[in-house]
Every structure is written in C-alpha cells, then in structure tokens.
C-alpha cells in the first residue's frame, strides 16, 4: 500500500482521502492509516509510519474485499453494520450501527529495527481498551485451565504444548485477527489489551462484528477459508501409541480389536519406521521390522480399518528429501528433534543427528516434500500424522531467527510455519487425487489452517488430572479462533509416573485407570476420538478383559461414539456448510447466562448435547504430576510403591454440574428432566459420562457397529427431547471423496412441533451413489415410549 495524496478535513492533525468505494485513508502527524471494508461487518485496519510503503500479501486471508457501500462524514465511516471513527491521533473507535461501543484503540507504537536481517522493518504494537468486566477468548491452546483471556500475559510463539492463531473475540460479539506471523506478546492488564509483534512492515489487523461467537467464527472463515469435510471413518475410534515397533504388531492390534468385536476405524504408526535417526522422516519403510510395509497397509485395509502414518517437518541427512532440499538451500540449520543420531534420551550431542527442518514457506520445498511423501501415498496410506509442525526449535539464537525463510526471515514468518507445511500437503494431495479426502492430524496450527483438512492435537501433554482439566478450555479457545478441529492424546502422553510395578504397568494402576477412563469420556466429545501415549500401551485389552469395570467402561464409550456417528457427521456438514463448531463454549448458545462466561469444564457438543465430563478423581487419590514435553522423555523407572486402598469401580458416585439457563435439560442416561439455570447433583458411574440433551433436541443414533460403513443407516433410532420446538438435519454422502462439493449428498430435515407433539420428517433432498431410499426410524422419547416409522423419502408426519 502506498498512500496517495491526501486532503485536510475539518480539524487539525488528520487528513483523509477516498481511494475506492470501500476504503478510506487517513494521515496523522506520525502515521498513515487505511480503513478498508471487506464486508459491511469486517474491516481491515493498516497503519504504517508516515511515508512508509506497505505492500503485503497475507498468508492467512484469502478473501477479496466485497463492493461495500460506505458513507463518510468527516472522520467517521459507516457501513450497514459498523461505525468507525478515527481521531486526530489516529486512534480508531468501533461501534455497531446503533452506536453501541464495541472496541476502542488506546495507542499504537512502531520501533524501527536498525540492524540484522529484519533491518528496516518495525516492532509493532497496538493497545485496545476493554470494558472492566468484558471477557475475551481465543488466541489458541494456552495450557492454563482458564477460559477467558483477561489478565493474561503470553508470548505467542508456536511450541509443542501451546499454539497460537492471533484471533481474539469478545462476549460483546466482536472479533479481531492480528495478521502478523512473528512472535507476538499478548498482554491484558490495567493498561489495556495489547498485541506486540517482533517484526512487521506495518500494523495489519481485521476487526469483525459477528454479534455473537458463531458470527465471529463465520467471519474469520470468510476471511481465511471454509472447513472441508473429513471422511466419515475419521470420526470413529483411533488406536495409537508411541510406538508400534513392527508391521506385524500393527496388524495384530487390528486383529485383536476385530476378535474382541470392539469398534476400530484407524490404526496409527508413529515414528522410526524409517530406522536410524540419520534416515529421519525418510518417508519410506526402511527399518528391518517394516520391510513389508506395503503388505501391512493392505492387511489393515482388508480388515476394514484405515492407516495413518507419522511424518515430520524435518529430514535426516541420509534421506532423499534432505539431499534435494539441501541442494537448493531449503533447510534451516537450527537445532530440532532429534538432536542426536542415537535413539536414547538425553541426546548424545557428540553424535549429532544432522536433522534439519525444511523451509515450508518455499513452494519449491513444499513440492519436494510431496514428491517424497507420494511414495507412502501410493502405498495406500489414508491419513497423515504431521508431527512437530510447530516445529521443535531448541536453544534458539539470534542467528536462527535471522535465517532466510521464504520471502522473509524465520523471525518474521515463524508462527505461520504450521499453516504452510500442512497447506502444502493438503494442496498437493488434492491435486493428486480427489477420490480420497485429505485427513491430516497436526501438532500445531495457525489462523486459516481450518481450510486444509487438518485436525490439531494439543501436543505431548502429561497424564494428570490437572492436564485433563486444562484440555477443555484449551480446545474451546482453539475452536473460537475459527478452527473447529481439536483433539488430545487420550490418557495423556507421558504416563510413566503411574508405572509403579515396572515398565507399562500404568494400565493396571487404579489411579491411571480412572484418569484414562475419564479422559476417554472427554475425548468422546472431540472431533477426533484417539487414544495415544508413551510409557504404557493404550489398547483396550491392556486394561483388563470384558466383564471387568475398566474394560467395560472403555468399551461402552467407544460403542457410544459409533452410535453418535449420524449426529456427529451431520454436525460436520453444519461445520462445512454453515460455519458451525463441534466444541462450543456454553456462552456460544447461552450468552445471557453470565455464570457460563468463564466456565472451563462444560461445553456444547454440536447444537444439542451438553458435555459435562468428570475431571476430578472420584475413586482414587489424585496424583500430582509435574512434567513437560521435554523432561517427559527423560523417563526414569518408578520404584514399586505400596498399594493404595483398592478402588471399588463398581460404586456409584455423585457429581455436581451446571445446566445453563434458558431451556430445560434431559439426562441422557436416565431421561430425567431438569430446569436450566441451576447446579444439579447427579448420581453417576465410572462407565457413564454426564451428558444432557437440550429441550427440543432431535438426536439420531446408529446401531452399534465395529467400523463405520459396516451397517447402513437404514434403521436409525431417533430420540426426541420435548419441551421446545426443535430441528435437525440428517446429512449423508459417499463418505470419502469430494463429490459433495458438486452437490452429491442428501439431507432429511426433522422438525418437532412441541405444542402439538408432532414430528415432521421432511422430504429427502439431494442424491448421491448409494443413497438410502427406504428405511425405518425408531422414535424414542425420554419417558421410554417408542414409535416405528417406515420412511421412503417422502414427507411424513407423526403424532408422538
């Protein structure tokens, strides 16, 4: 942006010019400002020191400004949704059309960088004034257990356990995306809310007025990209651990699940299938125990399961990719994982691995990455586990930050690395084959990454009740940045502190067993339902056998996940088509209830289910664990400890949960009805997670199955929860290609008329190969009454 010749307006200190129908430029004594409307409710603000040239192509924002009608009256610009005023010091005030104050700038600051690779750029900072009791949310997966971001001070730089998207939103219905990729400090205190970035040619942010949380999320996706559909099978159960050590072991795990008739849709191969660290991330089966990797994948597929494999953002010096990238100068030389060419921890630095991170900001580098990854894709790999996409960045020096990266420096682009590396795989696979939907699981994410078919997990979290509690607000705040796809390592990654009787014994320790079951019950309500970790295996049969309380509790939740698949997959369509979210903080639906504004342990799962997982020990003593993602690798064998009092997992316990005001609620397990706006004490067992259905909800449940697609959805149970009118749209398609983008899918709308007790099942709309035309719906109400409806695609009404 080069500012044009300006003319003075009616007071000293600021000048204004009109440059296009949807934008206005100002100048003050110290800076130039551009106000550009992208929609009537989204406005871009750019500030640069006076006379400075600003010309930037965003890595995140892919939307173009619409033709927005605005009116100008002096220093005030108004659209159909917003009123923006720029004062004589360049401070901007945002109000809605009715004049309600939304957000106000306090001060801006630019500090010229006078040396180093970023010389000529600026350190940029903007401070805003918030109302005293105004909670704000978002930013990313800060692991502090708190929902609101008020009174937070955080250096936002991607890492193993915390990731940042630079998106914040308020209970007042406004959102802000700070379009900067360098490490950024977020601070909120008596001085205001400020964002301060280490590098920028100017200050660049987008103000969004969505009126509520969903509106802000929708606007962020308008700017940065919509969410594609994941394959249906990705919503089933995934089994993993660090790590399966042979192709035989992988196949044996799938076999065991099929033998036990426990549902399973995915098996994951973690690292080192390539052998030596010098071959790190070779993207080939080179280890002796994986030489039959292609046959392994065939066997997994023959058992109606899918295969995901670990890939990294770095390469060992003996790999083909390393040599190709190195020839073109597309490798960074900073320290990353693994530091040693030998496998044990701590690393032997006298045997350095030579592993280097690749320059994902370069299109050439992303192309080389895919050329090598294509070897695995051609073997039939179904999904990618992109580890260390932060990436691991150890002992950083000034030299490391000044390394050339893409068209900038590592410092200037650092936080956008996950966006670019994940985007490279997504774009390449879609060009290669449109018959298989891209599914990527990644350890890190930046704003806009929702458009790349990826689900982020929260890193190598420790196995503790404290960490379990922190995952809920971390996931909710992540969703509030516009990316709905979040999951965690069920059971926590590092569980070695529970190995009281030798390696792997945690699964027989009642303290860990209880934690694992409760973590699994939280995972039930995440878009990806995946068990993973080190120090002890996590397969269901490691916890006992059928008829024992821990095994049965695990099996019950996995079965429930499969019964919920029609609800979850229909929600996925709402995420794609209507900018919805899976995991929703309670204020998204009940903002008028101030008690939920900072509630960190309950949330809505889709539109109807209140998820209230138990996140404290009820049967055992809570074990205090203090471990981080690096010290966890320095595992020490825990000496045998005296046995604690045996836990009676067959007992019922009492838990206290809050039900938001404004509706009635039904206990999923008992059908009991409660009024909202109160805490309730409920009796619960180890095998049941507290969950409540909102009045007016319509919940489709599938029959139990061992993998998605085993049984057609031609005999669904439909649960009706009366007390309010309700609607639900059942969505179906082929499950694993992009034909839905061409309109090849079908929907059935359900409407509950509460006053007249009439359920209307609308006409089936749309078509796709394999569509179900004749089916039975089995209607169930909380009082236990059942009705059977034969449905052939035509509208039908039933008095319930």
Digit-coded pLDDT (tens) for 209-248: 999 999 999 999 999 999 999 999 999 999 999 999 999 9
**Residues 783 and 734 placed together within one structural domain of the fold:** yes
Spatial distance between the Cα atoms of 743 and 655, rounded to a whole number of angstroms:
46
Q: Give rounded-to-5 percent helix, strand, coil for the chain.
A: 25, 30, 45
| Domain membership flag for residue 642 | no
Q: Among 168, 192, 224, where does a domain finish?
A: 224
**Residues 536 and 676 placed together within one structural domain of the fold:** no
Closest listed residue to residue 112, CA positions, set 125, 121, 104 = 121
Q: Among 529, 544, 563, where does a domain finish?
A: 563
Task: Compute the chain's Rg from CA coordinates.
Answer: 27
| 486 touches 583 (CB < 8 A) | yes
**How many domains in the chain?**
4
Q: Among 224, 257, 281, where does a domain finish?
A: 224
| Domain membership flag for residue 109 | yes
Query: Model confidence over 411-430: pLDDT tens digits?
Result: 999 999 999 999 999 999 99
**Residues 267 and 216 placed together within one structural domain of the fold:** no
Query: Model confidence over 332-362: pLDDT tens digits?
Result: 999 999 999 997 788 899 999 999 999 999 9
338 preceded by a cis bond (ω within 30 of 0): yes
Query: Model confidence over 518-528: pLDDT tens digits?
Result: 999 999 999 99
Q: Which domain holds residue 23?
A: 7-224
CATH number, domain of 716, equals: 2.60.40.1180
Closest listed residue to residue 521, CA positions, set 321, 740, 623, 669 = 669
| Domain membership flag for residue 468 | yes
Cα 67 to Cα 18, 55, 64, 73, distances in angstroms: 14, 21, 10, 19
**Residues 253 and 402 placed together within one structural domain of the fold:** yes
Q: What is the mean pLDDT of residues 512-517?
A: 98
Closest listed residue to residue 52, CA positions, set 34, 65, 40 = 34
50 preceded by a cis bond (ω within 30 of 0): no
- Going by the DSSP 8-state scheme, the letter that residue 340 receives in this structure is B
Question: Helices (DSSP H) in 144-267: which residue ranges?
Answer: 213-224, 247-260
For residue 36, pLDDT beyond 70: yes
CATH number, domain of 32, equals: 2.60.40.1760
Spatial distance between the Cα atoms of 612 and 603, rounded to a whole number of angstroms:
7
pLDDT above 70 covers a percentage of the chain that reads 96
3 phi and psi, to 5 degrees?
-70, 140
Q: What is the mean pLDDT of residues 493-515?
A: 96
Query: Model confidence over 399-408: pLDDT tens digits?
Result: 999 999 999 9
Cα 89 to Cα 31, 51, 248, distances in angstroms: 9, 16, 69
**Residues 151 and 295 placed together within one structural domain of the fold:** no
Q: What is the mean pLDDT of residues 585-598?
A: 98
Query: And the tokens for 464?
Result: 């503790």
Spatial distance between the Cα atoms of 616 and 326, rounded to a whole number of angstroms:
50
For residue 14, pLDDT beyond 90: no
Predicted confidence band at 18 (pLDDT cuts at 50, 70, 90)?
A: low
Q: Which residues of 439-465 are buried (b: 16+ CB within 10 A; e: fewer)?
A: bbbbbbbbbbbbbbbbbbbbbbbbbbb
**Residues 299 and 404 placed together within one structural domain of the fold:** yes
**Residues 290 and 391 placed together within one structural domain of the fold:** yes
Contact residues for 309 (Cβ-Cβ < 8 A; gap 6+):
268, 269, 273, 376, 381, 383, 384, 385
Question: Helices (DSSP H) in 328-451: which residue ranges?
Answer: 363-378, 398-401, 410-413, 417-432
Query: And the tokens for 698?
Result: 């319509």
Query: Model confidence over 740-771: pLDDT tens digits?
Result: 999 999 999 999 999 999 999 999 999 999 99
The pLDDT of residue 645: 58
For residue 15, pLDDT beyond 80: no
Query: Model confidence over 86-120: pLDDT tens digits?
Result: 999 999 999 999 999 999 999 999 999 999 999 99
Mean pLDDT, rounded, of the chain? 95
**Residues 663 and 702 placed together within one structural domain of the fold:** yes
Torsion of CA 239, 244, 250, 256, to 10 degrees: -60
Spatial distance between the Cα atoms of 72 and 68, rounded to a whole number of angstroms:
13
Spatial distance between the Cα atoms of 443 and 449, rounded to a whole number of angstroms:
12
Spatial distance between the Cα atoms of 104 and 764, rounded to a whole number of angstroms:
49
CB atoms within 10 A of CB 12: 8
pTM: 0.96
Query: Model confidence over 146-180: pLDDT tens digits?
Result: 999 999 999 999 999 999 999 999 999 999 999 99
Residue 515: HSE in the Cβ half-sphere, 13 Å Cα cutoff: 30
Predicted confidence band at 642 (pLDDT cuts at 50, 70, 90)?
A: low
Query: And the tokens for 454?
Result: 């990826």
464 phi and psi, to 5 degrees?
-150, 155
Spatial distance between the Cα atoms of 734 and 316, rounded to a whole number of angstroms:
39
- The crossing angle, in degrees rounded to 10, of helices 293-302 and 247-260 is 10
3-state secondary structure 661-720: CCCEEEECCCCCEEECCEEEEEEECCCCCCEEEECCCEEEECCCCCCCCCCCCCEEEEEE
Spatial distance between the Cα atoms of 210 and 196, rounded to a whole number of angstroms:
25
Q: What is the mean pLDDT of residues 467-483?
A: 98
Spatial distance between the Cα atoms of 386 and 403, rounded to a whole number of angstroms:
23
666, β-bridge pairs: 673, 693
Give the SS3 label for residue 38. Answer: strand
**Residues 717 and 786 placed together within one structural domain of the fold:** yes
**Residues 587 and 473 placed together within one structural domain of the fold:** no
Spatial distance between the Cα atoms of 686 and 614, rounded to a whole number of angstroms:
9
Burial class (CB in 10 A: 0-12, 13-18, 19+), 689: buried
| Domain membership flag for residue 633 | no
For residue 715, pLDDT beyond 70: yes
What's the first-to-final CA gap in the chain, in angstroms?
Answer: 63
278 phi and psi, to 5 degrees?
-70, -20
**Residues 655 and 778 placed together within one structural domain of the fold:** yes
Closest listed residue to residue 688, CA positions, set 716, 718, 650, 719 = 650
| Domain membership flag for residue 630 | no
For residue 1, pLDDT beyond 80: no
Helix (H) / strand (E) element for 559: namely helix 549-563
Contact residues for 431 (Cβ-Cβ < 8 A; gap 6+):
none
Give the SS3 label for residue 550. Answer: helix
The dihedral of CA 571, 573, 576, 578: what is its sign? Answer: negative
| Domain membership flag for residue 627 | no
| Domain membership flag for residue 537 | yes
| Domain membership flag for residue 635 | no
**Residues 438 and 478 placed together within one structural domain of the fold:** no
């Amino acid at each position: 942006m080069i500012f044009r010749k300006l003319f003075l307006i009616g007071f000293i200190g600021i000048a204004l010019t009109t440059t296009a129908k949807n934008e206005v430029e100002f100048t003050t004594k110290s800076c130039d400002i551009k106000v550009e409307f992208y929609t009537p409710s989204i406005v871009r603000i750019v500030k640069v020191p006076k006379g400075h040239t600003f010309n930037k192509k965003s890595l995140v924002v892919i939307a173009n400004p619409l033709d927005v009608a605005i009116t100008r009256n002096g220093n005030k610009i108004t659209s159909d949704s917003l009123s923006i005023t720029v004062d004589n010091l360049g401070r901007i005030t945002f109000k809605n059309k009715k004049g309600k104050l939304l957000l106000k700038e306090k001060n801006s600051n630019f500090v010229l960088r006078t040396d180093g690779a970023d010389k000529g750029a600026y350190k940029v900072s903007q401070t805003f004034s918030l109302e005293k009791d105004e909670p704000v949310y978002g930013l990313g997966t800060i692991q502090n257990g708190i929902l609101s971001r008020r009174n937070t001070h955080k250096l936002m730089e991607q890492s193993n356990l915390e990731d940042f998207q630079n998106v914040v939103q308020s209970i007042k219905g406004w959102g802000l995306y700070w379009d900067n990729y360098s490490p950024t400090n977020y601070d909120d205190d008596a001085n205001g809310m400020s964002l301060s970035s280490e590098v920028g040619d100017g200050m660049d942010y987008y103000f969004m007025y969505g009126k509520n949380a969903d509106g802000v999320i929708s606007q962020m996706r308008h700017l940065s990209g919509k969410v594609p559909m994941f394959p249906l099978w990705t919503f089933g159960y995934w089994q993993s651990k660090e790590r399966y050590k042979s192709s035989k072991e992988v196949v044996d795990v799938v076999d065991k699940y099929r033998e036990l008739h426990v549902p399973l849709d995915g098996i994951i191969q973690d690292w080192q299938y390539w052998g030596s660290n010098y071959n790190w991330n070779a993207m080939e089966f080179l280890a002796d125990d994986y030489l039959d990797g292609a046959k392994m994948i065939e066997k997994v597929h023959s058992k109606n399961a899918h295969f995901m494999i670990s890939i990294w953002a770095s390469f060992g010096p003996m790999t083909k990719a390393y040599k190709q990238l190195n020839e073109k100068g597309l490798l960074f030389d900073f320290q990353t994982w693994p530091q040693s060419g030998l496998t044990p921890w701590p690393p032997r630095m006298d045997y350095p691995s030579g592993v280097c991170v690749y320059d994902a900001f370069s299109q050439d580098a992303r192309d080389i990455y895919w050329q090598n990854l294509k070897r695995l894709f051609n073997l039939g790999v179904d999904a990618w586990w992109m580890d260390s996409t932060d990436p691991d960045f150890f002992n950083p020096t000034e030299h490391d930050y000044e390394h050339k990266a893409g068209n900038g420096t590592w410092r200037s682009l650092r936080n956008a690395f996950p966006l670019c590396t994940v985007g490279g795989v997504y774009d390449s696979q879609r060009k290669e084959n449109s018959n298989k939907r891209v599914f990527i699981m990644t350890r890190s994410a930046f704003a806009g990454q929702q458009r790349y078919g990826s689900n982020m997990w929260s890193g190598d979290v420790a196995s503790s009740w404290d960490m379990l509690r922190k995952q809920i607000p971390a996931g909710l705040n992540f969703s509030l940045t516009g990316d709905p796809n979040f999951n965690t390592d069920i059971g926590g990654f590092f569980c070695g502190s529970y190995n009281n009787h030798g390696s792997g014994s945690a699964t027989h320790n009642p303290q860990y067993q209880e934690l694992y079951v409760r973590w699994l019950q939280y995972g039930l309500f995440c878009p990806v339902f995946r068990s993973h970790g080190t120090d002890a295996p996590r397969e269901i049969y490691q916890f006992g056998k059928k008829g024992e309380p821990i095994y049965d509790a695990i099996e019950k939740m996995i079965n429930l996940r499969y019964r919920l698949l029609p609800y979850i997959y229909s929600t996925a369509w709402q995420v794609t088509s209507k900018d919805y979210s899976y995991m929703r903080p309670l204020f998204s639906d009940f903002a008028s209830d101030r008690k939920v504004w900072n509630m960190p342990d309950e949330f809505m799962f889709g539109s109807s289910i209140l998820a209230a997982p138990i996140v404290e020990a009820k049967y055992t003593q809570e074990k205090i664990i203090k471990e981080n993602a690096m010290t966890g690798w320095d595992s020490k064998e825990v000496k045998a400890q005296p046995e604690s009092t045996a836990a009676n997992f067959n007992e019922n316990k009492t838990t206290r949960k809050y039900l938001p005001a404004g509706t009635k609620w039904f206990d999923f397990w008992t059908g009991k009805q409660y009024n909202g706006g109160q805490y309730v004490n409920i009796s619960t067992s180890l095998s049941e997670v507290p969950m409540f259905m909102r009045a007016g909800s319509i919940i489709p449940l599938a029959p139990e199955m061992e993998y998605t697609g085993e049984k057609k959805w031609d005999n669904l149970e439909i649960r009706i929860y009366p007390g309010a009118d309700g609607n639900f749209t059942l969505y179906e398609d082929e499950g694993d290609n992009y034909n839905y983008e061409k309109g090849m899918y079908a929907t059935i709308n359900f409407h509950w008329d509460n006053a007249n007790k009439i359920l209307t099942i609308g006409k089936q709309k749309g078509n796709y190969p394999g569509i179900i035309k004749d089916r039975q719906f089995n209607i169930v109400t909380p009082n236990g009454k059942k009705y059977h409806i034969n449905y052939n695609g035509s509208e039908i009404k039933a008095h319930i």
